[in-house]
């Protein structure tokens, strides 16, 4: 009976930065100490700290005053995979499975369960650890809101809020100067941020990866507005948006260029293209990493608190190797093994897509 | 068949101010014009304008650039009830049923359906109009989130965000001066704002109408924190919170006082009481109407857009005399007749109450 | 030559909470360590820690990541005066001069100079310490902006920003409901916050202590607006505003009242009075301590950094017992002995008063 | 005597978008109507509307409720110069002096004075109009704060606030991921925004056009921080920053590239360079036009109100053909003819540069 056995747990945060991570760490730690009298340990920098044995005790005071702080007090790493980790071998670097080392680093401290807070990549490794017998609780994390199995994730609302504020701001420039402003938001594979921030910001055009656009349609739409006396347009575009039949513009280095440059993002390409097609003045803004930062919104603090609390409740009931989720308006959970490799994208007939169209938004098709 | 008949609709906003009202007005109007080729009319100042025949056409341009603006472009009135309206009769004022006048004011313009955006009071009258044969669509509005039948209402997230920002701000004063800060938020009958903002702001104590508090328990809790070296505490209290066995402190005028004064709210009473019991320095802040104002958050803009769009979809399908709601994570609707007089309060075993307790929050019991 | 002697300094923060205190502490400490290779000590809770010998070393890391944080990492106390400090003497408490103990607590650690960050009260004691031979640098602190000798103080801009945001928010309620909204801001003796926030928020009426109001004039003004079709008004009032020939409404306990209540502030009194005189719906909001909190605005972070840096520069040049100030657009300093007991109030012919009147604002006269 | 003659004035806004423009328009119009009983006209889209005779009356109501709104209700144009304006001549476009047409468009309406709100370019034309006998009042406008003759301009504080909020946000990503974050802000010729926002945001490195950087120095500084355990750095860079002996990276189109791309800005170049030199993970964010938008901060609303009011006061006193300025802590004015072609840049020994260095900031030299 797992329920009675567990005395000591560890928590780690993996993958990209996300507002609300500290809310989860705090809820996990406080619930563990307050309600279940557990010892809690923190793993530094995601799986990297698990591999390198950087694990330290977390006290009640360590997690005080962190609820409102962005980022993660534990640190994170984007790429470390314990089942294929680059190790120096003679003169070469080879990828090795170091998962047994990880388990040993936990066992030698008597740690019996690991709470993994992270995205798709983190959960793949977590599921693999569960298969090897480690007791795991997963907490989904992504500002992109594209994790399968949960209706919503913490960090998403903060990112949408930051993006909406930026759209609100460029609105005044657009209308004062009769310009087309193109705001690029995160979302490589899923257009949730663009759809929500674009709708909240009253964008005239929203472009998302799930609905490939036609340049002609965008130009026609912008021109038609201009004819009706609306001398400006706001376009919100997800970084992963792509033309019909075309491919994504990847953020890449350009060889043979006089300077070591990169593309500024799809928004800059669109500004050039739409400017040429319509003769209107177009400007691009790529919000980038600003969307990952800042103090979490109340929604994300509450959701992070709920997730952290629920993870501990399930763990102590012996319902383990699950991902905590928010489904149909309430806390729930799904098996870790079922979510790996899946992604939740915007359906073409999503009700919000329909609502956005009804209020006059074009999706470039 | 209502579906084919409808060519002309009107929209009104009743009751207290609420961020997101304009998002609904905009979505109703744009969806009506864009998708259904309807004529749209706006009623001024809620039922008051319906009674006084102040009704004017709403164009596409009238609802442009209002998405981000708080309040309502139509105006509102708090108390007008067409079924019992104060009318001058000789030298006296008597309450009269003027609902037939209202219906006539719509009929003479050929308006066939009325979208009522409002709270409990507005919906009671709306249901009564429906009984009299008027075609009605209801859209729920309250910053308090206590309308029965819907999991969430627009305006609530904006109010919670404003309240949370205030709690975040007093945090620094509390910790620098080792004080007890008491922040009073709206919620006369339901503690949703206090519960969410209190949890998001990391409050040490949350007091809501649904869980009557014991003063001793609060004082003990604050003292215990002080002994553990936490020399400050944050208390979030709903305006309608009350002591166990006691009654609410009503915001009232005090007779026989040298000045024409009112109570500043329950927070000022608690500051006095807890200060006397613990000897700690206590300060109260009553946020008041600031919570009703401001630009709606992205959540509330999107929810308002969804509600307005959905109201029109249902109306045109002939599914009328319903209240549009958000239930179990999606758009839905309930009969208008079923919600009147009901209220959605916080259950003592609400998962968020449990989560808040798990991270160390006291509810004063 | 003080310049060569000084190796060790201490810093303390006295008086009420104020955004930007940490910016000064950080600038003092980093400048001292980086540029002048000094040892820096921090005194806990203002003069209280100096009296009670709670003084500890401050390292570079102690002041990292505090620039954006409201409040003071050193703590503060409002009332401690080392020259008249309540001490237990037998069964009674008597006020005693404990300033020699303070000096000794510094001397025994080899601390040669004290940077005092505080308001009027803190500077009075600082000047008295200087007279006794202690080397002092003063840094002015007040959200009220009423310290004599400096054009501006850190904290003021943050308070004005918070107050303006609140005025912006109640604007929507006022206009939607045709109400008179009365927003009370800090300023017991000086109306700087009310003047600046009132002007920035486009208030129709601004009431400040320096310009006693006439109730009739306010009521006339509000009524005249109503007649011109402006069916709402925003009144910004400083807590210390008072009627012509009358006295301030003090925030006091009311005896013989059924509940242990306090006045909610002058705004509640005005709401009652103006409501009765005009028949309009009036609502009051007293912002209170929210104005003292939160992350400092960029202006206040930069000003705090400038003040802390400048204090150290002057100290190391031997220009001591001075108050660092911002005067005529640049950093400057005045003798500590000259500012005590003075206060900088709004002149009736201040250019901003004239500008506010020109754009249509009434001062109730 | 201009003072007695003037009955009718016009106002125009030229150049790039800037928060606070509406505050000036409102103050000019309300002061003119309230205090001086003038007729006020608004010119559409800057000099373009003056040339094309798009000039309309401005009423009191036209400028109500615009104080808090970004952009300009009059519209603006970036490039129109009435003294060299592209005109179709046969098959070719030639630049022509159309200033007489402008003057005639004003004269035929009886407009006797023109208030020009704009930057360097707008003021050059304004000075030329003054030379031709038109009565002009200039109001300086630039988010860059680089107009000669005034210590500060409206719009600057809003831009600095937006930039500082972005720096605050990327801070969490930087520290969670041990990254170097490079935030690019506006400032092609002057580094004021970078200096102020960089200091307010606690940036480790600030790069401005006035202090050409050395890449080696930046890399050394970042590496040194890493060795001291500070595993992240924040770099704030003005768009016009350039390497010592090198030239600015211009935002340009790259020929022969597979896509019609532009550089994303100097920040992307630096991210590449510093990443290669240090082996650290670097990320760039170019804030772009977001800095020009949004509701003006209280400072900018008050400054705009002051400027508009003061322009009218001077005009009515006959002190014309002047630029209104803020100098040494108060309102003042300088001759229009003296400012043309000058620019106010950051001096290497500016006190804030010294303060920033003292608290540990590197300027890359």
Cα of C25 to nearest chain B Cα, Å: 14
If 0-12 CB within 10 Å is exposed, 13-18 middle and 19+ buried, where does residue C317 land?
exposed
Residue C231 is assigned to a structural domain of this protein: yes
- Share above pLDDT 90 across residues of chain D, in percent, rounded to a whole number: 79
- Share above pLDDT 90 across residues of chain B, in percent, rounded to a whole number: 79
- pLDDT, residue D147, reads 94
Tell me whether strands B205-207 and B135-140 are parallel, antiparallel or unpaired. unpaired
Judgement on whether residues B280 and B302 belong to the same structural domain of the protein: no
Judgement on whether residues A6 and A51 belong to the same structural domain of the protein: yes
- The Cα-based distances of A244 to A355, A365, D82, D115, D197 in angstroms read 23, 9, 45, 50, 41
Judgement on whether residues B138 and B228 belong to the same structural domain of the protein: no
pLDDT (tens digit per residue) in C101-156? 999 999 999 999 999 999 999 999 999 999 999 999 999 999 999 999 999 999 99
pLDDT (tens digit per residue) in B280-320? 989 999 999 999 999 999 999 999 999 999 999 999 999 99
Interface of B with C in 246-285 (CB under 8 A): 249, 253-254, 257, 259-265, 268-269, 271-273, 276, 283-285
pLDDT classification of D251: cutoffs 50, 70, 90: very low
Judgement on whether residues D14 and D123 belong to the same structural domain of the protein: yes
Residue A260 is assigned to a structural domain of this protein: yes
Judgement on whether residues A62 and A191 belong to the same structural domain of the protein: no
Given a cut of 70, is residue C261 above it in pLDDT? Answer: no
Taking CA–CA distances from A178, the nearest residue in chain D reads D75
Interface of B with C in 152-211 (CB under 8 A): 162, 165-166, 168-173, 175-178, 181
D151 inside 8 A of chain C by CB: yes
* Closest in C253, C272, C294 to B172, CB measured: C294
pLDDT classification of C178: cutoffs 50, 70, 90: confident
Given a cut of 90, is residue C272 above it in pLDDT? Answer: no
Give the CA-trace dihedral at D336, D340, D345, D347, to 10 degrees. -80
Cβ <8 Å between D360 and C310 = no
Q: CA-CA distance, D310 to D115, in Å (whole number)?
A: 11
If 0-12 CB within 10 Å is exposed, 13-18 middle and 19+ buried, where does residue A64 land?
middle
Cβ <8 Å between D310 and C355 = yes
If 0-12 CB within 10 Å is exposed, 13-18 middle and 19+ buried, where does residue B94 land?
exposed
Judgement on whether residues D12 and D146 belong to the same structural domain of the protein: yes
Looking at residue D327, what DSSP letter applies?
E
* Closest in D19, D172, D264 to A265, CB measured: D264
- pLDDT, residue B1, reads 41
* Closest in C168, C306, C356 to D355, CB measured: C306
Q: C10: which strand partners?
A: C41, C114
Q: CA-CA distance, D191 to D326, in Å (whole number)?
A: 19
E strand or H helix at B43: strand B39-43
- Tell the residue number behind the tokens 């005239």, with chain if given: A204
Cβ <8 Å between B75 and C178 = yes
pLDDT classification of D252: cutoffs 50, 70, 90: very low
* Closest in C69, C181, C265 to B289, CB measured: C181
What's the ipTM?
0.94
Q: CA-CA distance, B356 to B363, in Å (whole number)?
A: 9
A329 inside 8 A of chain B by CB: yes
Chain D residues with beta carbon closer than 8 angstroms to that of C301: 164, 199-200
Cα of D353 to nearest chain C Cα, Å: 10
For range B318-343, the mean pLDDT: 94
How many residues are present in chain A? Answer: 365
Chain B residues with beta carbon closer than 8 angstroms to that of C69: 172
D286 inside 8 A of chain A by CB: yes
* Closest in D35, D199, D297 to C302, CB measured: D199
Given a cut of 60, is residue B238 above it in pLDDT? Answer: yes
- pLDDT, residue A4, reads 56
Cβ <8 Å between D329 and C328 = yes
* Closest in A297, A305, A352 to B355, CB measured: A305
Q: Give the global pTM.
A: 0.95
How many residues are present in chain B? Answer: 365
- pLDDT, residue D101, reads 96
CATH number at residue B9: 3.40.50.450
For range B210-224, the mean pLDDT: 96
- The Cα-based distances of B192 to B187, B245, B264, C55, D312 in angstroms read 7, 22, 21, 44, 51
8 A C-beta contact, residue B151 and residue A329: yes
Q: CA-CA distance, B289 to C182, in Å (whole number)?
A: 10
Judgement on whether residues B309 and B196 belong to the same structural domain of the protein: no
Interface of A with D in 289-308 (CB under 8 A): 289-290, 292-294
pLDDT (tens digit per residue) in B73-107? 999 987 789 999 998 888 999 999 999 999 999 99
Angle at D80 between CA D75 and CA D82, to 5 degrees: 120
Judgement on whether residues D6 and D141 belong to the same structural domain of the protein: yes
Q: D8: which strand partners?
A: D39
- pLDDT, residue B248, reads 61
Cβ <8 Å between C290 and B294 = no
Interface of D with C in 333-362 (CB under 8 A): 351-352, 354-356, 358-360
**Of B263-272, C195-204, C321-330, D319-328, which range is least confident?**
B263-272
For range C38-57, the mean pLDDT: 97
> Which candidate in B193, B200, B306, B317 is best for mutational testing of the A interface (most A CBs within 10 A)?
B200
**Closest to D111 (Cα-Cα) out of D35, D36, D49, D55:** D55
Which chains have 3 or more CB–CB distances shorter than 8 Å to chain B? A, C
Chain C residues with beta carbon closer than 8 angstroms to that of D201: 68, 298
Judgement on whether residues C266 and C190 belong to the same structural domain of the protein: yes
pLDDT classification of C340: cutoffs 50, 70, 90: confident
Cβ <8 Å between C76 and B264 = no
Judgement on whether residues A303 and A277 belong to the same structural domain of the protein: no
For range C200-229, the mean pLDDT: 95
User: Tens place of pLDDT for every residue, chain A, 365 residues?
Assistant: 444 579 999 999 999 889 999 999 999 999 999 999 999 999 999 999 999 999 999 999 999 999 999 999 999 987 789 999 998 888 999 999 999 999 999 999 999 999 999 999 999 999 999 999 999 999 999 999 999 999 999 999 999 999 999 999 999 878 887 889 999 999 999 999 999 999 999 999 999 999 999 999 999 999 999 888 888 899 999 999 999 987 665 444 444 443 434 457 889 889 888 988 998 989 999 999 999 999 999 999 999 999 999 999 999 999 999 999 999 999 999 999 998 788 999 999 999 999 999 999 999 99
Judgement on whether residues C129 and C200 belong to the same structural domain of the protein: no
Cβ <8 Å between B285 and C285 = no
> Which candidate in B25, B264, B265, B271 is best for mutational testing of the C interface (most C CBs within 10 A)?
B264
Given a cut of 80, is residue C218 above it in pLDDT? Answer: yes
For range B341-356, the mean pLDDT: 95
For range B104-127, the mean pLDDT: 96
Chain B residues with beta carbon closer than 8 angstroms to that of A162: none
- The range of the structural domain enclosing residue D118 comes to 2-154+296-327
Cα of B328 to nearest chain C Cα, Å: 31
Judgement on whether residues D148 and D161 belong to the same structural domain of the protein: no
8 A C-beta contact, residue B225 and residue B204: yes
Q: CA-CA distance, D98 to D49, in Å (whole number)?
A: 12
- The overall average pLDDT reported for chain C is 92
Residue B343 is assigned to a structural domain of this protein: no
Residue C333 is assigned to a structural domain of this protein: no
Token representation of residue B43: 């009623």
How many residues are present in chain C? Answer: 365
Taking CA–CA distances from C258, the nearest residue in chain B reads B254
Phi, psi of C282 (to 5 degrees): -120, 140
Q: How many domains does chain A have?
A: 2
- pLDDT, residue C252, reads 47
Cα of C89 to nearest chain D Cα, Å: 46
pLDDT classification of C55: cutoffs 50, 70, 90: very high
- pLDDT, residue C172, reads 83
Residue C338 is assigned to a structural domain of this protein: no
Cβ <8 Å between A302 and B352 = yes
Q: CA-CA distance, B260 to B257, in Å (whole number)?
A: 7
CATH number at residue D222: 3.40.50.460
- D144 catalytic? Reply is yes
Cβ <8 Å between B261 and C269 = yes
Cβ <8 Å between A30 and B312 = no
- What's the 3-state SS for chain A? CHHHHCCEEEEEECCCCCCCHHHHHHHHHHHHHHCCCCEEEEECCCHHHHHCCCEEECCCHHHCCCCCCCCCCCCCCCCCCCCCEEEEECCEEEEECCHHHHHHHHHCCCCCEEEEEECHHHHHHHHHHHHCCCEEEEEECCCCCCCCCCCCCCCHHHHHHHHHHHHHHHHHHHHHHCCEEEEEECCCCCCHHHHHHHHHCCCCEEEECCECECHHHHHHHHHHHHHCCCCCEEEEEECCCCECCCCCCCCCECCCCCCCCEECCHHHHHHHHHHHHHCCCEEEEECHHHHHCCCCCHHHHHHHHHHHHHHHHHHHCCCCCEEEEEECCEEEEEEHHHHCCCCCCCCCCCHHHHHHHHCCCECCC
Taking CA–CA distances from C163, the nearest residue in chain D reads D298
Taking CA–CA distances from A164, the nearest residue in chain B reads B298
Chain D residues with beta carbon closer than 8 angstroms to that of A178: 45, 75
E strand or H helix at B156: helix B156-177
Give the CA-trace dihedral at A248, A249, A253, A254, to 10 degrees. 120
Residue A343 is assigned to a structural domain of this protein: no
Helical pair C351-358 and D21-34, crossing angle rounded to 10 deg:
80
Q: C95: which strand partners?
A: C86
If 0-12 CB within 10 Å is exposed, 13-18 middle and 19+ buried, where does residue D133 land?
exposed
Residue A46 is assigned to a structural domain of this protein: yes
> Which candidate in A16, A43, A80, A177 is best for mutational testing of the D interface (most D CBs within 10 A)?
A177
Cβ <8 Å between D302 and C199 = yes
- The Cα-based distances of A63 to B179, B204, B347, C94 in angstroms read 21, 14, 28, 42
Q: CA-CA distance, A82 to A49, in Å (whole number)?
A: 10
Cα of D133 to nearest chain A Cα, Å: 29
Tell me whether strands D322-327 and D135-140 are parallel, antiparallel or unpaired. parallel
> Which candidate in D160, D200, D306, D313 is best for mutational testing of the C interface (most C CBs within 10 A)?
D200
Q: CA-CA distance, B295 to B155, in Å (whole number)?
A: 10
Token representation of residue D324: 């209104």
Residue A342 is assigned to a structural domain of this protein: no
8 A C-beta contact, residue C140 and residue C124: no
pLDDT classification of D177: cutoffs 50, 70, 90: confident
């Amino acid at each position: 009976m797992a329920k009675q056995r567990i005395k000591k747990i560890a928590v780690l945060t993996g993958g990209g930065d996300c507002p609300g991570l500290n809310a989860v760490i705090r809820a996990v730690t406080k619930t563990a100490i307050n309600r279940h009298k557990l010892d809690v340990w923190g793993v530094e920098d995601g799986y990297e700290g698990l591999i390198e044995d950087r694990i330290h005790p977390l006290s009640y005071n360590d997690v005080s005053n962190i609820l409102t702080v962005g980022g993660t007090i534990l640190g994170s790493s984007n790429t470390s995979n314990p089942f294929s980790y680059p190790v120096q071998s003679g003169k070469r670097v080879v990828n090795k499975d170091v998962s047994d080392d990880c388990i040993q680093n936990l066992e030698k401290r008597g740690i019996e369960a690991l709470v993994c807070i992270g995205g798709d990549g983190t959960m793949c490794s977590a599921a693999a650890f569960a298969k090897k017998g480690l007791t795991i609780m997963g907490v989904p994390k992504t500002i992109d809101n594209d994790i399968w199995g949960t209706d919503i994730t913490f960090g998403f609302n903060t990112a949408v809020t930051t993006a909406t504020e930026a759209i609100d701001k460029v609105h005044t420039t657009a209308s004062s100067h009769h310009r087309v402003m193109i705001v690029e938001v995160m979302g490589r594979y899923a257009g949730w941020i663009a759809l929500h921030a674009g709708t909240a910001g009253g964008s005239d055009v929203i472009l998302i990866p799930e609905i490939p656009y036609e340049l002609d349609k965008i130009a026609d739409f912008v021109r038609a507005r201009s004819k009706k006396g609306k001398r400006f347009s706001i376009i919100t575009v997800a970084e992963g948006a792509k033309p019909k039949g075309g491919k994504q513009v990847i953020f890449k280095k350009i060889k043979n260029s006089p300077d070591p440059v990169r593309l500024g993002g799809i928004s800059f390409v669109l500004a050039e293209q739409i400017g040429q097609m319509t003769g209107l003045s177009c400007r691009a803004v790529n919000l980038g990493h600003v969307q990952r930062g800042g103090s979490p919104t109340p929604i994300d603090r509450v959701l992070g608190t709920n997730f952290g609390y629920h993870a501990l409740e399930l763990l102590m009931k012996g319902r383990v190797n699950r991902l905590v989720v928010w489904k149909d308006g309430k806390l729930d959970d799904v098996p870790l093994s079922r979510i790996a490799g899946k992604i939740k994208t915007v359906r073409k007939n999503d009700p919000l897509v329909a609502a956005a169209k009804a209020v006059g938004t074009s999706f470039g098709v």
